[in-house]
A and B are shown apart, each in its own frame.
Chain A
Amino acid sequence: MPQSVIVQQEYRTDVYHNLAERVKEASKDSCGVMFLYCSDQPPQMESRLREILQYEPGLEFEIVPDSQTDTLAIMLPGHTLAAAHYQALLIKHHLQETMNQVDPRITLTVFPGQVDPMPATLKQMAESAKLSVSSDIQIFTKPEALKDPGRILIVDHDDTIREFLRIRLHLQGYETLEALDGKAALELIEKWEPDVVLTEFHLYGIDGLPFIRQIQKLLLAQTPKIVVLTGQRVDQTISQCFKNGIEDYVTKPFSPVELDARIRRCFN
């Protein structure tokens, strides 16, 4: 008896393990994964689904039934979250139109390329689909599992300020690097490509508006958001900074809680 339990458990996890392997094989870059569950289990569900998806021209997909949770796993290689969400909406719409009394429950996520899908995550998604009480499509985004932690470059000449910010931002799970002056900061931004540059306005080397303009002129995949943290409180300067597209402006002395909130907002 205990042996069979173990076998069954192994088998259970194996479904998701295989699924994870197939997701990985299916696509080198991002891959959408959807779990579909209908409460009264219409038998022709899988074939119906294939029909719907085949109508979409050029759509690559794969359907794997999951007997453990009585759900259907649908893989959509090469889909972004928005595209996968659109497909999910279409499926839901078609099912509701063509079949009577179906109430599909859908969970959805997108695995970015180079990230191995975790079997545990897939299992959780399948179970959520079955247990869901809402007919809304449930989107799984686990930032810590799917995305790198936010990268913040701290630029300030003052050692104390830098140390304070470093410790505080680390505690919140951000990755940080530091630069003492404008020129070093520009080099680091180019090499490290941070998401946010948290900078003093007055720096050595290059500072102020020219510094902000230089950051924006760098040829990067994504221009970092700039948060100015400074003792400079002249209205005209602040307005010029915003005109030049900075994300936020916090004056020293600052409230750490306020700064946290403003930085968090940069990542949403």
Chain B
Amino acid sequence: MYGMVAIYYVMIVNILYFSIIGLSFRNIWTIARRAKYSSYNTLAGSELVPAVSLLVPAYNEELTIIENVNCLMTLNYPTFEVIVINDGSSDKTMDVLIAEYELHKIPNPDMSGTIETNTVRDVYHNPDYPQLFLIDKENGGKADSLNAGINLSHYPLVSSIDADSLLEKDALIRMARMYMENPEETVAIGGDVRIANGCLIENGAVHNISLPRKIWPMFQSIEYLKAFLGGRIGWSHMNGLVIVSGAFGLFRKDSIIDVGGYRGGYPGEDMNIIIKLHRHMLKNKIPYRVAFCPEAVCWTQAPDTYGILANQRKRWGRGNMKNMIENRGMLFNPRYKVMGLITMPYNVLFETLNPYFRITGLLALGGYALLDMTHWKILLVFFMLNFFSGYLLSVGALVLEEIAFKRYKKPSDLFKMLLYSALKFVGYHQLGVLWRVQGHIQYLQKNNSWGAMTRQSWNDESETA
């Protein structure tokens, strides 16, 4: 009876979710303590902290790029460089950067890396801004841009940062602290991504943190909180992270080069690089860890209209599908330990295929009820249980946030989050399922466009906030 399968499926999903959030709760106290008591200021001036190359791929980012680069150049970190990679933008991204920082072409740039990329036209620099480099290359996608950045980078660690994101001043040093705990084994660290819509942005820093006012970003705020605090802390505890967000992650450069750099051609390159790292390390039996650093916060601009959000989610669905199919060999393969036995099966069964189980399960149960094979009350109880477990997970993530970070100070914001956590199950959740299916359809149709991702200026954002 298929209905039973659906019920078992839901049960297993929930058990998994709750175990993961349980692990998050186990770790949150340590995280809260180290976020509060580590002396980041002393560390941020130390010669012993490894140098980092920040890679900022930029495609048509003329509105936000200056604010973003200013933010990165004023990070509280001892030694770092900012490499902006202009991926053949069709707008004025190049011009605004060159004008703002008075950049000049370097005659013979030293691109010491060996990863294949599209043609790099020029590298720009200004000695007045010694940490800033600008690569101008032909359009080749985000992965290709990151590879070009790696080729130019001068330091042993690289960090990928989205051009529409702003880092907190201490974000990078917090990550470096985690890296320095275990520099031998750490190959990648992910940061906590939060939604900046609704916050006031000034001088490249986020002030007056508050929740977005529009509903699409609002739902995403809760979604991100749940995914990052509820999910990734737990997954990283058992070294089973499948993704380090492209918006903000730190990597060991030699490891990235070992696995051949980022893969182009498809979205989801951030998940892909992590799977490749896991695969490489486990295959060669090298001890390693992929960590998550929730106290390193990156604020990103969430899509605030239906169309853009839908595009983004379809793209994610497509990337996820591609990554799972590409790495199907890891599924249930004991050689890949936690990755092969838990993370990958979880991702295939409960993330990639989730929409189909949901839709078919719903149809089956609905059908049984109509045919009077199941009592409608049982069905109702089932739905209620489903809803409450989901709601409990959201609330759990909120509690984690309140234990360790307390970024949202206003009590009204907390109530708003509790309310929207419930509203999320009416409509937004179902749309998520729909978008994922549409993404899969696009994948099968081999439609590989990036989709429109229009940006708003940070300034406009702060005015409306």
- Listed A/B pairs (13) with beta-carbon separation below 8 Å: A202-B169, A203-B74, A204-B74, A204-B204, A204-B205, A205-B203, A206-B70, A206-B74, A208-B74, A209-B128, A234-B46, A235-B47, A237-B78
Q: Annotate A141-176 by CB proximity to B: 1 below 8 A, 0 otherwise.
A: 000000000000000000000000000000000000
Which residues between 65 and 84 of chain B lie within 8 Å of chain A, taking CB atoms?
70, 73-76, 78-79
Main secondary structure of the interface of B (DSSP, over half): loop
Q: Are A205 and B70 in contact (CB under 8 A)?
A: yes
Closest Cβ of chain A to B89, distance in Å, is 24
Q: With both chains docked as a complex, state the minimum distance between the C-beta of A228 and any C-beta of chain B, in angstroms.
A: 11
The complex places the Cα of A203 from the Cα of B204 at a distance, in Å, of: 11
| Contact A232-B78, Cβ < 8 Å, known A209-B129, A210-B128 | yes
Cβ contact within 8 Å between B78 and A181: no
Given A208-B73, A210-B73, CB of A231 within 8 Å of CB of B42 = yes
Contact call A233/B45, Cβ cutoff below 8 A: yes
- CB neighbours of A206 from chain B (8 A): 70, 73-74
Complex interface bits, B151-183 against A, C-beta within 8 A gives 1, otherwise 0: 000000000000000000100000000000000
In the complex formed, the residue of A with least CB distance to B44 is: A231
**Residue in B closest to A251 when the chains form the complex, CB atoms:** B45
CB-based nearest B residue for A230? B45
Please give me the 6 A-B residue pairs with the lowest Cβ-Cβ distance, nearest first. Answer: A231-B45, A205-B203, A232-B45, A233-B45, A207-B74, A234-B78
Shortest C-beta distance, A184 to chain B (Å), equals 9
Nearest-neighbour CB distance to chain A for B335, whole angstroms, equals: 43
Docked pose: A207 CA to B79 CA in angstroms: 14
- Say yes or no: is B411 at the interface (Cβ < 8 Å to chain A): no
- List A residues 195-247 near B (Cβ within 8 Å): 202-210, 213, 230-237, 240
Chain B 73-106 near chain A by CB (<8 Å), digits 1 or 0: 1111011000000000000000000000000000
Cα distance A233–B179 in the bound complex, in angstroms: 20
Could you tell me the distance between the alpha carbons of A125 and B160 in the complex, rounded to whole angstroms? 70
B38 proximity list for chain A (CB < 8 A) = none
Report the count of interface residues on A (CB-CB < 8 A).
24
A240 to B44, CA, bound (A): 18
Known contacts A204-B203, A204-B205, A209-B128: A237-B79 contact under CB 8 Å: yes
Residues of B within 8 A of A232 (CB): 44-45, 78
Q: Does A183 contact B (CB under 8 A)?
A: yes
In the assembled complex, which residues on chain B have CB atoms less than 8 Å from the CB atom of A183?
203
Are A240's CB and B130's CB within 8 A? Answer: yes
Known interface pairs A204-B169, A205-B203, A234-B47; 5 further A-B residue pairs with C-beta atoms within 8 A, sorted by A's residue number: A202-B75, A204-B204, A205-B70, A208-B73, A231-B44
| A182 CB within 8 Å of chain B | yes
**Is B41 an interface residue, CB under 8 A from the partner?**
yes
- C-alpha gap A204/B76 in the complex (Å): 9
| A interface with B by C-beta (< 8 Å) | 181-183, 202-210, 213, 230-237, 240, 251-252
Q: Is the CB of A233 within 8 A of B73?
A: no
Known interface pairs A208-B74, A210-B73, A237-B79. Does A202 touch B129 (Cβ–Cβ under 8 Å)?
Answer: no
Contact of B79 among A202, A210, A234 (CB under 8 A): A234
Q: Is the CB of B204 within 8 A of A213?
A: no
Question: Which residues does chain A contribute within 8 Å of B203, judged by CB atoms?
Answer: 181, 183, 204-205
**Closest approach, in angstroms, between the C-beta of A250 and any C-beta of chain B?**
12
CA distance A3 to B130 in the complex (A): 78
Question: Which residues 84-139 of B sit at the A interface, judged by CB distance below 8 A?
Answer: 128-131
Given the known A-B contacts A210-B128, A231-B41, are A202 and B74 also in contact in the complex, defined by CB atoms under 8 Å? yes
Question: Smallest distance from the beta carbon of A166 to chain B beta carbons, Å?
Answer: 20
Q: How far is the CA of A61 from the CA of B464 in the complex (A)?
A: 69
Question: When the two chains form their complex, are residues B74 and A182 in contact, meaning their CB atoms are under 8 A apart?
Answer: yes
**In whole angstroms, how far apart are the Cα atoms of A206 and B131 in the complex?**
13
With A and B bound together, what is the CA distance between A202 and B74 in angstroms? 6
Is there an interface contact between A202 and B44, defined as CB atoms closer than 8 Å? yes
A94 to B264, CA, bound (A): 89
Query: In whole Å, how far is B172's beta carbon from the nearest beta carbon of chain A?
Result: 12
* Chain A residues, Cβ within 8 Å of B45: 230-234, 251-252
| Chain B minimum-CB-distance residue to A181 | B203
- Residues from chain B with Cβ under 8 Å of A203 in the complex: 74
Asked if B41 and A205 sit within 8 Å, CB to CB, the answer is no
| CB proximity of A191 to chain B, nearest CB, Å | 18
Tell me the smallest distance from the CB of B247 to a CB of chain A, in Å: 21
Minimum C-beta distance from B200 to chain A (A): 13
Q: A182 to chain B: which residues have CB within 8 Å?
A: 74
On whether A233 and B74 interact (CB within 8 A), knowing A204-B169, A209-B129, the answer reads no
Q: How distant is the Cα of A233 from the Cα of B78 in the complex, in angstroms?
A: 8
**Are B46 and A233 in contact (CB-based, < 8 A)?**
yes
Chain A nearest CB from B132 CB (Å) reads 9
For window 22-47 of B, CB contacts with A under 8 Å fall at 41-42, 44-47
Contact with A along B199-222 (1 / 0, CB 8 A): 000011100000000000000000
Query: Which residues does chain B contribute within 8 Å of A251, judged by CB atoms?
Result: 45
Q: Known contacts A202-B76, A204-B203, A236-B79; decide if A210 and B44 are in contact (CB<8 Å).
A: no
Q: Which residue of A lies closest to B51 (CB)?
A: A234
Chain A residue numbers with a CB within 8 Å of B128 are 209-210, 213
A116 to B59, CA, bound (A): 65
- The answer, among B75, B130, B204, for a CB contact under 8 Å with A205, is B204
Q: A210 to B129, alpha carbons, bound, how many Å?
A: 6
CA distance A206 to B128 in the complex (A): 13
Residues of A within 8 A of B129 (CB): 209-210
CA distance A181 to B44 in the complex (A): 18
